Amino acid sequence: MEHIIRERGLWPERGLPVECLGFRCPDTRTDCCCRQLLFYQPDFVCQKSQLEELIASRGHLCDFYPKYHCELNFIEQYWGAAKLRFHVAGHARTLDEMEKKVVTCLDDVPLLQIRQFVSFLLFSSVMSDI
């Protein structure tokens, strides 16, 4: 890290610690440690992950869901539709019956409906970026 920071002419005379204790950098500083300084360099900020680059290179849109917001994941809507079918289908008497019922209910959700869940969330995501 020091080598990269020196190459950019940003190495301070007083030096820099590798990282702040416990990764707890002060909120107002971007030059408290090597890690923070590099983290805010424009080329590091703009660098996409290898996964995002791979997905984009194949012509797909890579859209990560925010952490801990499962309601924004279309899988939840799909799962909800399957659970409704499971509830309506009646009681299963054995574990085998229940497993078959789960698979049937998951397969029962029409592909068009699943695509509508995805489309709605993608549309919502695009509209929130505008």
Binding site for Zn ion (CB under 5 A): 20, 25, 32-33, 36
Identity of the residue, 1 or 114, whose beta carbon is nearer to Zn ion in the bound complex: 1
Identity of the residue, 25 or 82, whose beta carbon is nearer to Zn ion in the bound complex: 25
Place of tokens 């299963």: 92
Identity of the residue, 33 or 105, whose beta carbon is nearer to Zn ion in the bound complex: 33
What are the Cα distances from residue 65, in Å, to 47, 70, 82? 18, 8, 22
Q: How many CA atoms lie within 13 A of 115 on its CB side?
A: 3
109-115-118 Cα angle (round to 5):
115
Taking the complex as a whole, the smallest distance from the CB of residue 95 to Zn ion amounts, in Å, to 53
Taking the complex as a whole, the smallest distance from the CB of residue 49 to Zn ion amounts, in Å, to 22
Identity of the residue, 17 or 80, whose beta carbon is nearer to Zn ion in the bound complex: 17
Taking the complex as a whole, the smallest distance from the CB of residue 23 to Zn ion amounts, in Å, to 8
Taking the complex as a whole, the smallest distance from the CB of residue 6 to Zn ion amounts, in Å, to 18
Tokens of 22: 């416990």
Q: At 63, which amino acid appears?
A: D
